[in-house]
Structure 1
Amino acid sequence: MDKKKGGLLLSLRKDMNRRAISDRRLEAIFRTLSRHPYIVSAFICLALTGFGSYSYKFLNGVTVYGVFMIIEFFYLRRFLKQLDDSGKHTAGAVLTFAGKTLLTLAAVNYFVHTQYKAAFICFAGLCAVLVIYVVLLNNDKKFHDRVTCLALAGAGFVLRYSYVFMSDIYTRQNDVWYFGGEGGHAGYIEYIYNNHALPNFDPTTLWQYYHPPLHHIICAVWLKFCASVGIEYYMACEAIQALTLFYVCAVTITVYKILRLFDLKGKALTIPFGMCCMYPYLVLMSGGINNDPLMLCFTVGAIYCVLKWYREQTAKNIVKAALCIGLGMMTKISVGLSPLP
């Protein structure tokens, strides 16, 4: 009996060791993230939001169980790779596959029937981030700061995504008004969407139309794209939150780059970056569809580019700073008043 228990524990340990990520692969992951952080962030935001179908109003059992089948496919693929030379599975692999399948099915079934879907997503997402953090920490200590910052960024994203999931385009908005009306940011976006042009009248006669139009043009183009692929109009309007969610993610990425410019390490890096990732107003801003998220994105980008130019005074760096300031002022005039170094 003791030998059987020992064999079971040994097989479980071997199964765990197979899942450990190598230092070389981890280095390649961080290299990819550092080279293309904004592209990776945009892909994740758009993939998880699904053109507005992420909203609790449109999510149904068929969609959720479809996601379960995709996850189960990866479980099965992993399970089949764990065949030993004799063509048999170890006890640990069998128990691991069965346990993951049952737990995932139970979680999916609970998610379909619970009314607290956003809270469930937040809890499950934070647990997944914690697991990834613990697994990656088993690697070389040289990855400690990067793994910690990656976990903080993941936890912050889960909080913001959960908020976007639970709130629609009219929840806790600032100066948005509503689609179908004339005033507010929603009316401004809809005017460009319907007329394919900027307002040809005095913009001060309608509420919020005096703002520069960059954010509203991007939103109108995004609405047009969503409508062209057959997405229902209100769902397409919900999809605007995918853009603002990405803008806030871009802010956190740029803040990390700023901190790295000062060669901060350890707690000097992780504490301020964690405060940025968990900052409550950024959570609210990720679900807002006014021009503030894009304005903040360009403002932080301008600060980063100016700091980089101060260290390396090249035309490339000053042009990047000028673009951030110019595009920011095309989003909101107050960007020009932001204090830069």
Structure 2
Amino acid sequence: MNNPTHISEKKSSGSNPAVSGIFGIFAAHPYLSAFLICIICTTPFCASSSNITSAFFIIMYLFFCVSTGLVVPRICKKHKLKDPLPVILTFVASAIGAPFFLYFRNRENKLMFIFVYGCIMLTAYYFAFYTKKLSHRFNTLLIMGMSFMVKLCYVLGTSISERQHDVGYFSPSKEAAPGHLGYISYLCYNHHLYDGDYREVFQYCHPPLHHGLCAVWTWFLNRILGVDIENAIESAQVLPLFYSMTIIITAYKIFRHFQLKGRALYIPMIITAFHPCFTYLAALMNNDALSWALAMGAVLCTLRWYKAPSTANIIKIALCLGLGMMTKLSAALTAFPIAFVFIIVFFRSLKTSWKKIIGQFAAFMAVCFPLGMWFPLRGLIRWGIPLTYVQKLPEMDQSIKGITFFERITDFSLKQVENVYENWLWRDESGVPQGFNETNPLIAILKNSIFGEFINGNNFPDMAYMDKICKVFFWVAASIAAAAFVLMIVYLFRKCAADIVQKSFLVFFHIVLMINLYTLSKNYPMVCSMNFRYLMPTVITGALFLGFGVSKLETSKKAPAKALKVLLYSAVTVFSALSTFVYMVVVSVEE
């Protein structure tokens, strides 16, 4: 997809041909580049830290030496240091690094070492090849690279059975095992969809795109490359890792679509790239990651179609939306704000090119409808399953049916935030209920947007200080979310880089997701129905409006604006640092 906002940037590439070439590849094929990087960084040890051997540290050290040979002379050249000093410094840097690799190769905390190693490599290349003409690309790539290291280490330290949603188990046979892993194993061994009423098997009600891709990946590694089945399915985590990075890349493209630059670009990029929801999403084996990746692709393509209403652009929307629905039917929620843009453009074209727009709508439906609806229509025709069927959950301790929905959404008692982790009713060894269930959807999503359902004080044994750090993290994140929400309301009515239709489209999208979550919470009164995984794109819409606010702050010379800038930049810095620290501690403790 060509983006006219980048044309001038490509023409003004830095003077170094190698740097220009690398950036040219990333700019032309960002998603393919991200996929290759994910494969290179995970498949050698099947996306599991338990498979990281001493030999891998030797490879890391060799890459470190090669990088030293590239980076040190480049930095010396920038500072006009003459031979033989660059050669001496290269050998000194390589020699200094050797003891660290020898020390950590047999240690348990390998993930922390890999994270530090990756960050050092990224920073070294950044300072060695940085050019002002490509400053925003260098800065955003550094942000994405650092956030990728967090996600990579989290994936390596999280198995397909840890901190997952409804995964069940991967069956080593053709039987229909329950859960998302069971769905994947059924497709992997049987090579066809479950040929029965899928209401009978837990999670088989979902369209099969994600599960099919995981099944193909697992089958290829197991049958073609000879990887044992346990490692093959574990390695499938490379796919959600890639989908999570895809969302970050798409967010960047949306921010650049509105020509955000400088801090107005970096602030929303840091919030999005380091937001914990996209970290734990990278390891989830359910269909959320691919669904949201495609939904955000549809949002980006809609913005581009609105600017240039062509058949090619509307087909891209149809593909993203249709494939998103073929992953998870709830991706259809994106259709409502997209339809809003379609209607606006149609009425604007009534005096000029309305026939052309009608033709584009026909092309959209011809692509999107079959892709998105074949699976639910199959269930309706063969077994009478309603198109909007949602699998029912059994009665569990997490049920909150005893409290009315109005009481839940209006209860903001401080008791709920004494614990910044999500509250769940649990039973002691005698079976006596302890604690209480989360009831307010707003408070629940603020909590599990940061820690998910599965991270709490139990993840930090003998680390009492972590509870205090997590409290600071929660309140900083909640403050940034509140600021983003306020700015969304403000800039819906004030002038900014987006016109009224684009702003309304993004706010409509945000509201539709919120309404859906509250509807789920009302109709299915369980703690699990109040989960931020149903709202993840709202991080990007909120961050975008925060970027609009930063644009205004950057041009203001008033004292209150300067104070707000310092406060906001400090909060975002603390947010990204604590997000990295907390999730690295989670996987390091469990290693």
- Give the TM-score range, shorter chain: 0.7 to 0.9
Structure 1 gaps, min length 5:
1-20, 81-88
In structure 1, the partner of 2:480 is none
Amino acid at match of 1:304: L
1:167 aligns with 2:158: yes
1:272 aligns with 2:268: yes
RMSD of Structure 2 on Structure 1 (CA): 2.3
1:212 aligns with 2:203: no
Preserved CA contact (<8 Å) 2:34 2:245: yes
Preserved CA contact (<8 Å) 1:169 1:241: yes
- Partner Cα separation in structure 2 for residue 26 and residue 65 of structure 1: 27
- Partner Cα separation in structure 2 for residue 136 and residue 98 of structure 1: 20
Question: Alpha-carbon deviation of 1:213?
Answer: 0.5
Three-state SS of the structure 1 residue aligned to 2:127 is helix
- Partner Cα separation in structure 2 for residue 147 and residue 76 of structure 1: 21
Question: Alpha-carbon deviation of 1:56?
Answer: 1.7
Higher mean displacement: 163-172 or 188-197: 163-172
In structure 1, the partner of 2:512 is none
- Partner Cα separation in structure 1 for residue 152 and residue 102 of structure 2: 21
Shift of the 78–154 alpha-carbon distance from structure 1 to 2, 3 Å rule, reads closer
**Which of 41, 56, 66 does residue 48 from structure 1 map onto?**
41
- Partner Cα separation in structure 2 for residue 109 and residue 301 of structure 1: 44
Deviations 1:57-92 (A, max 9, x none): 111112322443455467679999xxxxxxxx9442
- Partner Cα separation in structure 2 for residue 32 and residue 62 of structure 1: 30
Preserved CA contact (<8 Å) 1:72 1:101: yes
Three-state SS of the structure 1 residue aligned to 2:177 is coil
Shift of the 30–63 alpha-carbon distance from structure 1 to 2, 3 Å rule, reads closer
Preserved CA contact (<8 Å) 1:204 1:210: yes
- Partner Cα separation in structure 2 for residue 97 and residue 135 of structure 1: 13
Preserved CA contact (<8 Å) 2:45 2:52: no
Shift of the 70–129 alpha-carbon distance from structure 1 to 2, 3 Å rule, reads closer
Higher mean displacement: 47-56 or 305-314: 47-56
Preserved CA contact (<8 Å) 2:250 2:296: yes
Question: Alpha-carbon deviation of 1:104?
Answer: 2.9
1:101 aligns with 2:94: yes
1:195 aligns with 2:190: yes
Preserved CA contact (<8 Å) 2:240 2:281: yes
1:182 aligns with 2:177: yes
In structure 2, the partner of 1:287 is 283
More RCO (CA 8 Å, sep 6+): 1
Higher mean displacement: 100-109 or 317-326: 100-109
1:148 aligns with 2:139: yes
Shift of the 72–266 alpha-carbon distance from structure 1 to 2, 3 Å rule, reads closer
Three-state SS of the structure 2 residue aligned to 1:178 is coil
1:185-334 correspondence runs (5 A): 185-227=180-222, 228-334=224-330
Shift of the 29–74 alpha-carbon distance from structure 1 to 2, 3 Å rule, reads closer
Structure 2 gaps, min length 5:
1-13, 74-81, 339-504, 506-591
1:45-124 correspondence runs (5 A): 45-50=38-43, 52-69=45-62, 71-72=64-65, 90-124=83-117
- Partner Cα separation in structure 2 for residue 248 and residue 77 of structure 1: 30
**Which of 317, 335, 338 does residue 331 from structure 2 map onto?**
335
Shift of the 79–127 alpha-carbon distance from structure 1 to 2, 3 Å rule, reads closer
Question: Alpha-carbon deviation of 1:128?
Answer: 2.3
In terms of Rg, which structure is larger? 2
Higher mean displacement: 251-260 or 308-317: 251-260
Deviations 1:149-198 (A, max 9, x none): 11111111111011111111111111112212811100000001111110
Deviations 1:294-337 (A, max 9, x none): 00110100000011000000000000000000000000000001
Shift of the 322–38 alpha-carbon distance from structure 1 to 2, 3 Å rule, reads same
In structure 1, the partner of 2:378 is none
Preserved CA contact (<8 Å) 1:52 1:238: no
Shift of the 52–215 alpha-carbon distance from structure 1 to 2, 3 Å rule, reads farther
- Partner Cα separation in structure 2 for residue 77 and residue 304 of structure 1: 37
Shift of the 75–159 alpha-carbon distance from structure 1 to 2, 3 Å rule, reads closer
Deviations 1:117-168 (A, max 9, x none): 111112222222222333343x2x2322111111111111111011111111
Higher mean displacement: 164-173 or 192-201: 164-173
Deviations 1:28-53 (A, max 9, x none): 32222110111111111101112543
In structure 2, the partner of 1:133 is 126
Amino acid at match of 2:88: L
Amino acid at match of 2:202: W
- Partner Cα separation in structure 2 for residue 112 and residue 229 of structure 1: 27
Three-state SS of the structure 2 residue aligned to 1:287 is coil
TM-score normalised by length of structure 2? 0.50
- Partner Cα separation in structure 2 for residue 77 and residue 266 of structure 1: 28
Aligned length in residues = 311
Preserved CA contact (<8 Å) 2:287 2:328: yes
TM-score normalised by length of structure 1? 0.85
Amino acid at match of 1:247: Y
Three-state SS of the structure 2 residue aligned to 1:113 is coil
Preserved CA contact (<8 Å) 1:52 1:236: no
Deviations 1:2-38 (A, max 9, x none): xxxxxxxxxxxxxxxxxxx954433332222110111
Preserved CA contact (<8 Å) 2:71 2:124: no
- Partner Cα separation in structure 2 for residue 177 and residue 311 of structure 1: 44
Amino acid at match of 2:308: E
In structure 1, the partner of 2:30 is 37
- Partner Cα separation in structure 2 for residue 64 and residue 54 of structure 1: 16
- Partner Cα separation in structure 2 for residue 206 and residue 285 of structure 1: 24
- Partner Cα separation in structure 2 for residue 267 and residue 70 of structure 1: 33
Q: Percent identity?
A: 34
Preserved CA contact (<8 Å) 2:104 2:113: yes
Amino acid at match of 1:326: G
